[in-house]
Structure 1
Amino acid sequence: MGAGKRKSIPWVVLALWVGVLALASPFAAQLGDVQHDRVTDYLPASADSTKAAELQERLPGGESTELVLVYHRDGGLTAADRTTAHAQVARVAGAHALTGTPRGIPSADGATLMYPLATDEPGADEEKRDAFVDDVRRVAHGEGALTVQVGGTGALATDAGEVYQSLGGPLLYTTVGVVALLLILIYRSPVLWLVPLVVAGVADFLSMAVAYGLHQAFGTSVSGQSSGIMTVLVFGAGTDYALLLVSRYREELRRFERPHDAMLAALRGCGPAVLASSGTVAAGLLCLLAADLNSSRGMGPLGAAGVLCALAAMLTLLPAVLVLLGRRVFWPLVPAHGSTPADRRSLFAAMGASAGRRPRTVLAAGAVLLGALALGTLNLPGALRQQDAFVDRPDSVAAMATLAEAFPRQSAQPIDVLTPAGRADAALAAARDTDGVADARTGRTGGGWTEIAVTAAAPPQSAAETATVRALRERLPGSYVGGPSAQQLDLADTDARDRLVVVPIVLVSVLLILVALLRSLVAPLMLVAAVVAVWGAALGLGGLVFGPVFGFGGTDPGLGLLSFVFLVALGVDYGIFLMHRMREESLRGAEPVAAALTALRTTGGVIASAGLVLAATFAVLTNMGLLQLVELGFVIAVGVLLDTFLVRTYLVTSASVALGRRVWWPGPLARAPEPGPGDRVRQPV
């Protein structure tokens, strides 16, 4: 290919990306329109509570919105307080079509009065539900020492929706800011940091269009959680690929005079590792399609789309822009043709040397440390209750806490039972006769189904109420038992099922990709074992700090599975970078110890930089308003740091040195080369 044609390729690539973005723009803009954070978007697809929620949406009036108005005064409510409460509830009833006449229920000590109320007015429309809740909150307000709070499932859903809606902007801006700061520190250039950041932004925009297309074509659910994590993945994984490519490009610019020749060499050198890395992450995330939990299953395709969009941008658009900008993009540290980098003893060279001297000792010490940290999983808090899911305590959670103190022996939120209409009377009688049920009343009927509202005698989401839910399911075959407590129960049960199904699929998928890339069985098994150990240690650190240090009230049921998928898929990234370079050195004839130490010396800095960026992007989630995101962000960020600065640098290098050529078994690299004429036979290392 002539020099003129080679020079025109970057411009062609740039023009193609402009066209792609023009086509993607209308679809990306519509992603927010299909993003939903309904209860069913986060429930197991096959669970009783999910089917109950879906049937409720089809009843007359659609999905009901249930609220509880809570009036409280320390020392006891006055007659004026009760008059105020009655007047405010009457205003709400006059302005909205409520299902039934609200009836005030006083607490035993007279300090609290609750008014349960429900309406079918909003149906399944989230905006109408939020408008209804906001209107009730404007009407229901206290004066002086009288406090008025609005709780119930409708208020909790509105407060959760506000948090999810707020994720988009702050999450994107914070992620961009964190990545920009780290890139400036890493590159020490006033221009270079901007290039991968802008390309990552382009990839994020494209991923939004792809996510919308997946929703339209396959019905993939899009939630605030899944779209937020997709953004984090695009910037985190995309920047990792950019760091590896730019580092190799800088290296090749010293060998080649023309930037496009240097870029071609860089792509040949690191392209396979980047492709395998992104393929591993995408494959791991797509394994979530086997999950029964709707939120997890939807996150898989969206996360994979984000990673693949980042890959496409970093292997096409980024090289084109870098070649067009030439060497000056590295100013003031411009790599001159024919120059050699300053021979400085790096931190990773020192770490590699220490690992090379006593590999078995380092390996044993690291394994003991990771094992000790993993014991912290025994200290993880119990299942996260719905009212404990917020970082900041909204009005709905405060209302539920007040009710729990005022009515310690009665649930303030109903258990919803959907039963065939022809058996409604028998089901109502059976429900009232079930142990742990304080009251049961029939509700709406339509489409062949009748809704029964059951009030448990035990506090919400307690062990006793959970037993009541299970008892109702046993006593009412053919009916579906739902409501917040049943949903939490189904989430816990489904998470246990999903772990048993998804975890083996992830491990096998990742292992097969590594075997294909590294032409070995031992090296892939070593890398997979390492990332599993990192996952256990990171989750254990969570157990040590979530309750005792941060005061978290519980652990999200999906934390174990999601953190496993992300840490295994993303952690193997760095193993691929290291082992691929080690294999390159071995193919060039380097002895096993030299190959391992050279790989660590040349990729250690890139892996460290990439690990810091990825950990920082996931750490952004710890600043969000939902505890499940905070916990997920913490575990992944800590796991990535452990993987970057302990496992990859010390343990994988030590294991590679200790195993020698056996790390490549049964591939050809596992066999010592035949000595040539005049060569002295070397003893195996």
Structure 2
Amino acid sequence: MTAIWRFISGRRTAWAVLAGTIVAVGLLFALLPATKSAGFPSTGLPDSSQAAQVDAALAKFPSAEQTAAVVVWSRDGKALTAADREAITARSAALGTESTAPRATAPRFSDDGTAAISVVPLDKSTVEKDVGTAADALRAVAAKDLPSGLNSYLTGAVGFQSDISNAFAGADVKLLLVTVIVVAVLLIVTYRSPILWIVPLAVVGTADGLAGIVAGALAKPLGVTIDASVSGILSVLVFGAGTNYALLLVARYREELLRTQDRSAAMLTAVKSAGPAIAASGGTVALSLVTLLFAELAGNRALGFACAVGVVVAIAFALLVLPAALVVCGRGLFWPFVPRVHEHAASPQRAGFWTRLGRGVSRRPAVITGVSLVGVGALSLGLIGFSVGLSQTEQLLGNPESVVAQKIVDRSFSAGLTSQTVVLAPDAVAVDAAKLASATDGVDSVRPGESANGLTRLEVSLAAAPGSDAAFATITKLRSGFADASGAASRTIVGGTDATALDTRQASQRDQDLIIPIILVIVFVILALLLRSLVAPVLLIASVLATFFASLGASNWIFQHLLGFPAFNTNVILFAFLFLVALGVDYNIFLTTRAREERILHGTTEGMIRALASTGGVITSAGILLAAVFAVLGVLPVVALTQIGVIVCIGVLLDTLVVRTVLVPALVFLTGDSFWWPSRAPRDSSTAEPVHVPAS
């Protein structure tokens, strides 16, 4: 590996590396097939779930190619006038011309006389080709020539799909633009140079573009669907991780430029010193993401696959392309603070902030540890009473049309009227199955439908709001009732939108129970191999877990009391754990690998103080930048992405500013050489004298 890094950092060979990179990236962009991410996330349930079985069976029914839109008319809760009713009847007839079943669009008026509803059957393939166009056409017809004060709204399957697609419309461009601005500003502040920030930003930006192309090209033949939410998280992760690695390498390179005049030699030393830590950190993130391939939900597998590809690309660019680019640009890149070799570089210098902090922690490690744990524990108390799972109307920020319409339906009709619950029963027991469903608590109505392939479809309307805990409880009762029935009725299965949401929640919980332990094992093994210790990995993982629970608690309080989110979205906890543990271990790797390096000459205590002094500034800058980048996810009006962004932002800041800064050093000072067990203490570490370190 040294030979490769020597080639990359050579004055002449660095130019060859950059030229080869430009050619290779250009060819990949030109030759790899461009893929377009799906407009909205798919369920991706395993075949074992009843909802997936119902969908598979319905695909063979005559009506398989049909979907439905729901149009709602309301006068903001006031009673509809005679003119309103006449106009609604006319609009419903006009909607029939857009429908595959014109007579089915006849309006239904609420008992309280404040709203009307029309169900519009549509061709499924036509809607899926362009759900936005189909939705706009229906909205235009429904709103035409309405009396003043009477409003129309689109909801149901088509309405929600349209609003979700609109939420992700231009997501890639919006996220990329905001991310680039945030990264550029923070790099300028960090480097205090008007030009240095351009190089790492250009390298990481190229890595991001290439990662999206490569992930998309590999995903298609593997049967992985990358939707807009996955693409957004991929871009944020590559920018965040890639910039973190760039900050660490540039900081070590600048440190070496103060010691040697030859910038190629300085880069060689920097990449040899920082490279293993960057590779180990990135490898931890990539392997943690790969564990998602064991998930049941296709969406989880897609995220793991795409982001693992992205992190590998980010590592490659950080260790191969960025060093060459920095060498080619020379020292002047750091202007106006150009690092120069000082004649008296070895003379003692005044201790900087991080050195003073390290020495302060070393004097009272037990007190610092206790106070830190109390603070982290207090934040974790925010998890009291937390819940997981948002209803359909709670998935998007703001008041999209489909959500407004659903609230009107909940208020004036049966809450589950616009939600589709489908029961498939064997033909011979269809009547008995309908009676059993009607007798189930929470079921509002049951309507027999078509039959095909020995199964009869029953349309079931629930009394509860779509995606709510009450709806899930009714689905569970239906399934239990059919499973306990005798004879052929026990083969009846329940599917539809609420059943799909329930099965998704349960599959997500199974994924979480399987993947979290695997991630912890991977992190432990990597830390043990890298640090050659069995104690250090346990303490470092414990510190990261404390950060995770504290950030969840703080976020849950913010969601419930400030942002109005009643619960965590289904996959948010798993994704937050993955990112916080993997990325949190990054900073511990950067700190402890340097501490291990310094320990050889200066002993455990002084080695940790010197490591904190050397890495404190750059790791803090990296943490603030990473937190800001993940916060960018909040620019999209999707609750799940906002929650991930807030949790990771809080967690990274907590880990960077508190846990890694004071708690981890305090744990090292408390345990002493035992922190590195079973590695032996350096022969002369016990007699090592404190050495002054450069001001940070």
Confirm or deny a common fold (TM above 0.5): yes
Which stretch of structure 1 is more off in the superposition, 487-496 or 591-600? 487-496
Q: SS at the partner of 2:218?
A: helix
Conserved in 1, the CA contact under 8 Å of 2:39 and 2:227?
A: yes
The 5-angstrom pairing of residues 23-172 of structure 1 reads 23-26=27-30, 30-32=34-36, 34-41=37-44, 43=45, 46-60=48-62, 62=64, 64-73=66-75, 74-98=77-101, 101-119=104-122, 121-123=123-125, 126-141=128-143, 142-172=146-176
Letter in 1 for 2:364: R
What is the CA–CA distance in structure 1 between the aligned matches of 2:220 and 2:136, rounded to whole Å? 31
- Alignment partner of 1:636 is 2:643: no
The 5-angstrom pairing of residues 340-359 of structure 1 reads 340=345, 343=349, 345-359=351-365
What is the CA–CA distance in structure 2 between the aligned matches of 1:680 and 1:513, rounded to whole Å? 31
Question: Equivalent residue for 2:683?
Answer: 673
Which stretch of structure 1 is more off in the superposition, 286-295 or 368-377? 286-295
- Alignment partner of 1:574 is 2:587: yes
Which stretch of structure 1 is more off in the superposition, 6-15 or 239-248? 6-15
What is the CA–CA distance in structure 2 between the aligned matches of 1:458 and 1:537, rounded to whole Å? 34
CA drift of 1:428 comes to 4.0
**Cα 1:498–1:7, aligned 2, differ >3 Å: closer, same or farther?**
same
Letter in 2 for 1:113: A
What is the CA–CA distance in structure 2 between the aligned matches of 1:196 and 1:377, rounded to whole Å? 38
Conserved in 2, the CA contact under 8 Å of 1:189 and 1:333?
A: yes
Conserved in 1, the CA contact under 8 Å of 2:87 and 2:147?
A: no
What is the CA–CA distance in structure 1 between the aligned matches of 2:560 and 2:596, rounded to whole Å? 44
Which stretch of structure 1 is more off in the superposition, 370-379 or 18-27? 18-27
Conserved in 1, the CA contact under 8 Å of 2:464 and 2:470?
A: yes
Match of 2:211 among 198, 207, 214: 207
- Alignment partner of 1:536 is 2:546: no
Cα shift readout 1:105-159 (whole Å, capped 9, x = no counterpart): 222211111122322x133863333322221111111442112111112211111
Cα shift readout 1:14-38 (whole Å, capped 9, x = no counterpart): 1221222122214666221x53525
Letter in 1 for 2:115: T
Which stretch of structure 1 is more off in the superposition, 337-346 or 406-415? 337-346
The 5-angstrom pairing of residues 140-539 of structure 1 reads 140-141=142-143, 142-338=146-342, 340=345, 343=349, 345-380=351-386, 383-407=389-413, 411-419=417-425, 424=430, 427-445=433-451, 450-476=456-482, 477-539=490-552
Letter in 2 for 1:204: D
Letter in 2 for 1:602: S
Match of 1:615 among 627, 634, 640: 627
CA drift of 1:102 comes to 2.3
Question: Equivalent residue for 2:693?
Answer: none
Question: Equivalent residue for 2:21?
Answer: 17
Conserved in 2, the CA contact under 8 Å of 1:103 and 1:115?
A: yes
Letter in 2 for 1:347: F
CA drift of 1:349 comes to 2.0
What is the CA–CA distance in structure 1 between the aligned matches of 2:299 and 2:187, rounded to whole Å? 32
CA drift of 1:335 comes to 0.8
CA drift of 1:282 comes to 0.5
- Alignment partner of 1:557 is 2:570: yes
What is the CA–CA distance in structure 2 between the aligned matches of 1:538 and 1:349, rounded to whole Å? 28
Conserved in 2, the CA contact under 8 Å of 1:56 and 1:63?
A: no
What is the CA–CA distance in structure 2 between the aligned matches of 1:212 and 1:537, rounded to whole Å? 35
Which stretch of structure 1 is more off in the superposition, 12-21 or 650-659? 12-21
What is the CA–CA distance in structure 2 between the aligned matches of 1:297 and 1:480, rounded to whole Å? 26
Which stretch of structure 1 is more off in the superposition, 302-311 or 162-171? 162-171
**Cα 1:143–1:294, aligned 2, differ >3 Å: closer, same or farther?**
farther
Conserved in 1, the CA contact under 8 Å of 2:9 and 2:268?
A: no
Q: SS at the partner of 2:419?
A: coil
**Cα 1:462–1:246, aligned 2, differ >3 Å: closer, same or farther?**
closer
Letter in 1 for 2:276: P
**Cα 1:29–1:231, aligned 2, differ >3 Å: closer, same or farther?**
farther
**Cα 1:420–1:309, aligned 2, differ >3 Å: closer, same or farther?**
farther
Conserved in 1, the CA contact under 8 Å of 2:92 and 2:106?
A: no
Cα shift readout 1:520-570 (whole Å, capped 9, x = no counterpart): 011111111111100000000012111111122332121211111110000
Identity of aligned residues (%): 37
**Cα 1:422–1:324, aligned 2, differ >3 Å: closer, same or farther?**
farther
Q: SS at the partner of 1:77?
A: coil
**Cα 1:72–1:656, aligned 2, differ >3 Å: closer, same or farther?**
same
Cα shift readout 1:599-644 (whole Å, capped 9, x = no counterpart): 0000001100110110000000122100111111000000000000
**Cα 1:61–1:210, aligned 2, differ >3 Å: closer, same or farther?**
farther
Letter in 1 for 2:559: F
Q: SS at the partner of 1:439?
A: strand
Conserved in 1, the CA contact under 8 Å of 2:95 and 2:102?
A: no
CA drift of 1:422 comes to 6.8
**Cα 1:5–1:200, aligned 2, differ >3 Å: closer, same or farther?**
closer
What is the CA–CA distance in structure 2 between the aligned matches of 1:350 and 1:433, rounded to whole Å? 72
Letter in 2 for 1:310: A
Structure 1 gaps, min length 5: none
CA drift of 1:425 comes to 5.2
What is the CA–CA distance in structure 2 between the aligned matches of 1:566 and 1:38, rounded to whole Å? 20
What is the CA–CA distance in structure 2 between the aligned matches of 1:646 and 1:5, rounded to whole Å? 36
Conserved in 2, the CA contact under 8 Å of 1:436 and 1:458?
A: yes
Conserved in 2, the CA contact under 8 Å of 1:538 and 1:638?
A: yes
For this pair of structures, how many residues does the alignment match? 673
Cα shift readout 1:357-379 (whole Å, capped 9, x = no counterpart): 10011011101111111111114
CA drift of 1:436 comes to 3.0
Conserved in 1, the CA contact under 8 Å of 2:8 and 2:14?
A: no
Q: SS at the partner of 2:207?
A: helix
**Cα 1:202–1:61, aligned 2, differ >3 Å: closer, same or farther?**
farther
Q: SS at the partner of 1:547?
A: helix
Letter in 1 for 2:217: G
What is the CA–CA distance in structure 2 between the aligned matches of 1:293 and 1:112, rounded to whole Å? 38
Conserved in 2, the CA contact under 8 Å of 1:155 and 1:396?
A: yes
CA drift of 1:351 comes to 2.0
CA drift of 1:80 comes to 1.5
Letter in 2 for 1:126: E
What is the CA–CA distance in structure 1 between the aligned matches of 2:21 and 2:639, rounded to whole Å? 38
